[in-house]
Structure 1
Amino acid sequence: MELVLPSGARIGHRSLLRYYKQQFGTSRAVAATGACILGRVLQQYKTLGWSSELAKAVSRRKERDMQYVQRMKSKWMLKTALSNNATKQMHFRSQILF
């Protein structure tokens, strides 16, 4: 929802004004120093024996566990929806105003 003019200026919709007013100048400097911190953390993991193969195995295991949880949740939701599909009342009288 923005228009780029030939001069390079961008014109956007007024509903997105809050996003256009945001300034990101200082956070870029923080992100540059974050790379150094990330390198140090990765170095510490390597010294502890946390290799990329170990990390891949752990992430695969977590992914399988999450898929299992999602499958169980889906089955439970389906069972609940089917059991609550019909009205459980023994007798039902429609509300008619006379």
Structure 2
Amino acid sequence: MENLDSRIKALQVQLNSVDCAPARGYRRNITIYSLVSYVNNITGCYISKNFQMVELFIARARTHMDDFPASEQWSSYYRMVDEYLFAMEEWLKEVSLS
């Protein structure tokens, strides 16, 4: 579990870094803003161990990614988000077994 927590924290830092976050991704009138918000809501809920909301925002993020496939400019962010969502799903499985 400790290794998974470290991986999640590293992904959280990376997803909000200038190098990874989508250009203009924090502007509300850009389609990817919702995905960026879901990712950051997941992070906040993870920190506070609000498991139900983590599940809710993972589902919303996945739906967004299905409804709005990655453009070329956002493809690397989508890949990183997918990795993050998978790690969060693994974390949820582990904490539910505790």
Which TM-score applies when normalising by structure 1?
0.27
Q: Which protein has greater RCO, CA pairs closer than 8 Å, 6+ apart?
A: 2
Higher strand share: 1
Higher helix share: 2
